[in-house]
Chains A and B, each alone.
Chain A
């Protein structure tokens, strides 16, 4: 809720602006100049009249904010060049100082009134306050305040109870109910595994997840770096961060709430979809790291329904986004995931204070993926997904139908991603998993996709990747408009192809394959790549042909043009073997000796056969008895007793590859 009014410029303000202009020539001022809409003001007054106070987010008139923001957002991720880091720090400091100066002045205006500062922000001209009627009145008349927005709690998009618009004809499709509950199904569906094969796994990149925190000890996050922070100002007073305050950073900061709070482990599920990796199950950006930002507060049952729940104040989300922005020089952040939302918006909600934070992140190459919502709306989606610079994500099924609960809008929803029956980590234990539905589950597919694409093109812009994902996605239509307009479901491998400069066609001869498997792969110019030749059982890798030569395995490639590379293999045939048993005795004692004789298979001519291995086979047990040189053609084996034994003899190449064994039983 907002109200706007005419901002009368005070002489002091004018003086300060003139001073700033003198210090920074060439920069234009950006001051509050818009007419304020009083229509939106009355709900805040109504609420404050009822409750005695209200939480608000004010937008301040910070001198040169556009220019200072532009200077700050020129610097994207970490840079090895110290001078770049220094310049980034200087720009960020200038922005922070300007915001802080204005903040101090606004707070000075409030002297003598009752108010609490909820949050200050370093990179955006906002200030979150709890105000009384008197302090609100001061803010209303303060020329440094451009807008006042109620700080409203935003619900978690509950994956367990997706809603349905009664006016909408979306119903659960028969195929949807049959979808396999596997992250292992949705990840290959969107082509992530093929992107991994290119070497694009999100390694080195971070996905920031603004959610309910994370169970960081879960096996699904093994080996990952997890950066933690908390912005949780609580339902009434104090804060709900683990340190009892409203903000916290460092280990343990993003620990989730106890399980009696509905949705307590939502962030663990979402983080797993984006970056999880354990055993055979993996999220989209399987090697990416996580910045877990806990932005939810505990709300009593009276605010939630039947039981306590978690909701996130807009001011805390703003704090989280601001924090992520400040980390951009420290961590390579690919994207922000916000499986959060509420409300019904049929047009972009760009007046939302979160837009400034999302814009800042977008300007430094960090996409903010936000869920479209689970209310099954047609033509409307939730906020903050409705912010035009966010990437609003809707949910689809593994059979590429729109999920029945999805909020759909052909212009605001940017992408579809799988969101039905998505299997991922939960907070119950370190090894617990569950299948959940929701646009909350679709969104981290997109956030993870960004990390995958960033590992291909680190400098790729949000618009660049979004265009690639949109233009290469699988079109999904909605019942909302009679299946006319299609919104693309992300197909990461195709996006990789669209973003690439060169292709690498990998082929293999009979008796082997490659890792990655024979296929066409896409790279940007100069990208390093590596192919492993993987011979089948009883086969050996010989050499590379086509665009490569030699027998180095793995084969390192630097992409300077499109090429085809073939891995050549040969089969190692079994030798022909005969066997006999002889008695070796002294006067009173005896032993038997099995004598195995063999001849090399003629088809092995030209192979580098270095030795032969002789095994004794007993049931399913195969015991290596000896390795003999390749020029040896006989092996004697003493044995106790005269029983018949089974043997296998196999040729072994110089590279250690073992051929097909010849089996023989010596009676």
Chain B
């Protein structure tokens, strides 16, 4: 793992940054990072998320071969095909345990997982909870469009009550998941929310998530123009809505600072999560707690201290000697 410069972050230590030097490498640019032409419908919110992600990688300048983008199944899960890095496309709902395997197996990699609301909150809901609980070091971007788009308009776990779909022709009757509340409950150590029409905000949230040392999640409201047009207008000023951002505490002692949000305050974050639609955007929650990556590395270090530098062969031979 490198010890190169890291960018300071308000609440958490950063992940290892890119290795210093190697000036022979050309910088990572959008041009280098562009792969297949996206297969999304014209007007899909995911185009903007992709553009913002290129920008984030341009800012981070990780070594090209150490970036991994993976996804589950769904429209948004096509994402990795459009980014020229190591990566791929796993099965529906399981991108997080797969990405956790990559992250825990290789601490030198920068792992990004992408998916939609069905992948993250429905079929993969249990994995979201446990990856968050274990605080595996990776960044998860959920492009939430409140509908199943790839399968052509069925109710999703985030579809509001009353939403008419092919599986609820008279309107959805089940209460939807509140993603921010669910993520807070699951114990994720970085939780943010953004809107696909707000490119600079998305870049800021994804960059902060990428720099967070732990499991970081960004939910991005990303409109499905085919099957749920106008779903997020309430958060889009150009459509008459309000994009209200969360101001974070600066700890500057000023009177106005008292009204700002403390992202380490779980209860305050929960209050933000319970605000009426469309709610606020920004960093809801961010704390430092040991990652599973670090805890496993410490377990290895403690164990190896006891075995005093024994080689794999020494260890195996000693085990067999005990079974004689």
A binds B: no
